[in-house]
Chains A and B, each alone.
Chain A
């Protein structure tokens, strides 16, 4: 953009670079520090931020391999990080697949079919989604407690229950997919119907193959959303082997048992893949953000 340039222009550029560097240092400090801490021997060593000796003990423990200290004592992994990661991935994958399936069909109805009070229904769904789940935790707990007494595999402490609990968060995804469906010309499906296809066939065989990109985006968004979900998981899952990463990670930093180094390795191990997926999906997340959604 054209701005009046003067003699001070060069100084201004330098000042801006300097300010950005300071800010970058502050922003990246926690992320770089945690990598360095994960490579530093011991859980309490403080002092040098760049480790003088590199030790992979925390990484070994995070990967579930017992670590033998120089004096011969064997340290067992404090927490089953890989099991938690597996739980998280399992729950996130299944619930995201179901979320994609549910929101795709609903989005199809909103985009293509005529029915009474369509706009009112869509608006109330979007409005409902503004109430954070964290506020209704008591009711969610009570619901699954009651459900578990009748159907044990859906109760508290079950992954199936948690997956089912996540199925309510579909409004934003319906909105996203609906927007994409509306950008596909309706004539293609109409031609198929002229040729004798039913609604379902037009949807399943004509529209869906064209919508694969947006379905993948919604899958990734739902996946990230469920893998970082903490409040609901923390009340439904309590037993150590059952936990997801989001619930389990906090146990590293209890005052009585402070495992800073072990936490750092587990955090990098589990955080890095999620961060990479997020950065890859950044483009779509950002377009969703600017169209009015809020991170939640």
Chain B
């Protein structure tokens, strides 16, 4: 009984969910988002299949996690690669249909036929009074009472002759400004004997006919009504172009093949800062790992020395940089290193009489980044090494003590060789992390100081990720396509590092 009822309920739920999904997919498809529609359809379809049928118990538990990863980790990767082959940028933001639609909606107010208007309160509603055209002969018109506070009606409002209707005082300009949003959406229809035209808001005092600038003609082209020039869509460049090659803004999104990649490799203006940034990225990641490892490992070894007191206290305090949220400690360093107001320069000035320009000089800026990143990174290595050293059997050290070995000999002959192998994959991981350490660069220097004489702004302390961020989201025209192409290159590098790390991990597992 109960089972039958619950299965009936299940079917009903599945049916309702399927209908809702179909409706959503359909409306997305109609809204010109076929890719999203297919994606949502596939995802929702599998959800209904998994939860609606008794096929696989395991997938009922797996689905949310796997779907989350597919949508927000895997899909962005694939999508980035795809964007890398397009000219997607702030100039070519929309797809062709929407760019055309945007241009077709462009219009110009016909000043010659504008009519002055005033607003008059009537209870809680407003009436709009239209004067005849300047020098024209028509009647004074008035609208029915409108509740503009609740937004403009969607349909055109029919105007009638004022006749003998008595209106209150006109609203002041300030009160009219408050109604502006509703007025801009308002369409007024003139009476048939005045042409029956639609007129729209054309300024704080006027309504007037609004004429479109463009007309759609054959083959998706657009004709400028004033001049008659035809602009045809060029699907290689992503712009509407006239026969003379003039381009209309905005352009649209098209695939441009490998153009972003050839630009990266062949355009000399772009290549030289790009190569410097690449070299600095590798140096930054490598030196960060080197310095943090040197310091972290030394501390781990020292804090295992049993003659030393207060080791737990030292370890806790030395761990602190890792516990403070990165965005706070990085900004604290940014302030401390400030050339004029920073405490570090105040101390250096008092002791040595120098005030280094940490943020203006490329070499000093790089030094500062490495200092900060060593501070941020050594506790992690210290913790890792401590764990690994604790796993070394004590009898090895006892044997070396009998042989009369000195501490340094112990370190290089026992500790180092034994922790090197398990540490390697973790250090590769740390290298990969720093290779993409966007937060540090973005918050500390933001890539500055910039290279001089580059077309696209590029910073001497930029690493690849922060450089793509700059290309995509700050100045220089938001070139998403180019940024995505560089990101694709980073994916390849990350994938290589991941594989190397996997190899190193497996080596560790097979030997231990």
Mark A residues whose CB is within 8 Å of B.
1-5, 9, 12-13, 16-17, 19-20, 23-24, 26-28, 30-31, 33-34, 37, 44, 46-47, 49, 101-103, 105-106, 108-110, 113-115, 121, 125, 127-143, 146-147, 149-150, 164-171, 174, 199, 203, 224, 227-228, 230-231, 234-235, 245-246, 249-250, 252-253, 258, 260, 263-264, 267, 270-271, 274-275, 278-279, 282, 286, 289-290, 292, 294-296
A292–B28 CA distance with the chains assembled, in angstroms? 42
Cβ-defined contact, B387 with A17, below 8 A: no
Known: A34-B332, A267-B332. A279 touches B323 (CB 8 A): yes
Contact of A250 with B73 in the complex, beta carbons under 8 Å:
no
A246 to B79, CA, bound (A): 27
Q: Which residues of B are in contact with A by a Cβ distance under 8 Å?
A: 27-28, 31, 33, 36, 56-59, 61-62, 64-66, 68-69, 71-77, 79-80, 83, 88, 299, 302, 304-308, 314, 316-329, 331-336, 338, 341-343, 346-347, 375, 380, 383-384, 387-388, 394, 397-398, 401, 404-407, 410, 425-426, 429-430, 432-433, 436, 438-439, 442-443, 465, 468-469, 472-473, 480, 483-484, 487, 490-491, 494-495, 497-498, 501-502, 505
Once the chains bind, are B320 and A31 in contact (CB under 8 Å)? yes
- Beyond A115-B58, A271-B325, whether A235 also contacts B72 by CB under 8 A is no
Check A138 against B83 for contact (C-beta < 8 Å): yes
- Residue ID in chain A nearest B68 by CB atoms: A167
User: Are B380 and A289 in contact (CB-based, < 8 A)?
Assistant: yes
In the bound complex, what is the Cα–Cα distance between A187 and B443 (angstroms)?
Answer: 52
Report chain B residues within 8 Å CB of A128. Answer: 69, 73-74, 77
- What residues on B are CB-neighbors of A115 within 8 Å? 56, 58-59, 62
Q: What is the CB-to-nearest-CB distance from B362 to chain A, in angstroms, rounded to a whole number? A: 18
B465 in complex: contacting residue of A134, A249, A292, CB < 8 Å: A134
B331 touches A130 (CB 8 A): no
A140 contacts which of B76, B324, B346 (Cβ < 8 Å)?
Answer: B76
Measured between beta carbons, the chain A residues less than 8 angstroms from B65 are 102-103, 105-106, 125, 170, 174
* Cα-based distance from A174 to B72 in the complex (angstroms): 16
Q: List the A side residues contacting B341 at CB < 8 Å.
A: 44, 46, 258, 260
Contact A289 B384 (CB under 8 A): yes
Min C-beta distance of A131 to chain B, whole Å: 6
B77 surroundings in chain A (CB, below 8 A): 128, 131, 136, 139
**What are the 9 A-B residue pairs with the smallest beta carbon separation, nearest first?**
A168-B72, A106-B65, A136-B76, A115-B58, A109-B61, A139-B76, A134-B438, A139-B79, A294-B429
Please indicate the chain B residues that have their CB under 8 angstroms from the CB of A168 in the complex.
Answer: 68-69, 71-73
B346 and A47 contacting across the interface, CB-CB below 8 Å: yes
Q: Nearest Cβ in chain A — how far from B319, in angstroms?
A: 7
User: Could you pull out 16 A-B pairs where Cβ atoms are within 8 angstroms?
Assistant: A1-B304, A2-B401, A30-B375, A132-B438, A134-B438, A138-B480, A139-B484, A140-B72, A146-B33, A170-B68, A199-B57, A234-B442, A246-B325, A249-B327, A260-B341, A263-B335
Contact of B433 among A139, A146, A296 (CB under 8 A): A296
Q: Do A292 and B505 touch (CB < 8 A)?
A: yes
B218 to chain A, nearest CB (A): 29
Pair A135/B325 contact, Cβ less than 8 Å: no
Contacting residue for A4 out of B64, B316, B404, B430, CB 8 A? B404
Minimum C-beta distance from B377 to chain A (A)? 9
- The CA of A115 and the CA of B398, in the complex, are separated in Å by 50
Question: Which of A130, A228, A230, A294 is in CB contact (< 8 Å) with B442?
Answer: A230
Known A37-B335, A128-B73, A130-B494; 10 more pairs at CB < 8 Å: A5-B307, A24-B318, A33-B336, A49-B343, A102-B68, A109-B59, A125-B66, A133-B73, A253-B334, A274-B324
Q: Complex formed: what's the CA distance from A44 to B342 in Å?
A: 9
Chain A, residue nearest B346 (CB): A46
Interface contact B472-A150, CB-CB below 8 Å: no
Question: Which residues of B have CB within 8 Å of A3?
Answer: 305, 397, 401, 407, 410
Residues of A within 8 A of B27 (CB): 150
Residues of B contacting A109 in the complex (Cβ-Cβ under 8 angstroms): 58-59, 61-62
B429 touches A106 (CB 8 A): no
Cβ–Cβ < 8 Å partners of B76 in chain A? 133, 136, 139-140, 143
> In whole angstroms, how far apart are the Cα atoms of A235 and B472 in the complex?
10
Say yes or no: B401 contacts A4, CB within 8 Å. Answer: yes
Cβ–Cβ contact B443 & A295, under 8 A: no
Decide: A231 near B438, CB < 8 A? Known: A115-B58, A167-B72.
yes
Query: A108-B61, A282-B319 are contacts. A136–B383 as well, Cβ < 8 Å?
Result: no
List chain A residues, Cβ under 8 A from B327. 228, 230, 245-246, 249-250
Min Cβ gap B292→A in Å is 12
In the complex, the answer to whether B405 meets A4 with C-beta atoms within 8 Å is yes
Q: A141 touching B473 by the CB < 8 A rule? A: yes
A146: which B residues are within 8 A, CB to CB? 33, 36
Are A289's CB and B36's CB within 8 A? no
List the A side residues contacting B336 at CB < 8 Å.
30, 33
Residues of A within 8 A of B473 (CB): 137, 141, 235
Chain B residues near A30: list those with CB within 8 A.
Answer: 329, 332-333, 336, 375
A164 touches B64 (CB 8 A): no
Q: B380–A143 contact, CB under 8 A?
A: no
B-side contacts of A16, CB under 8 Å = 302, 305, 308
B90 to chain A, nearest CB (A): 12
Residues of A within 8 A of B426 (CB): 292, 294
Distance, CA A254 to CA B83, complexed state (A): 33
Evaluate contact between A143 and B79: CB separation under 8 angstroms.
yes
Q: Decide if B469 touches A290 in the complex (CB within 8 Å).
A: no
A150 to B383, CA, bound (A): 47
Residues of A within 8 A of B384 (CB): 289-290
Taking a contact as CB atoms under 8 Å apart, the answer to whether A228 and B326 are in contact is: yes
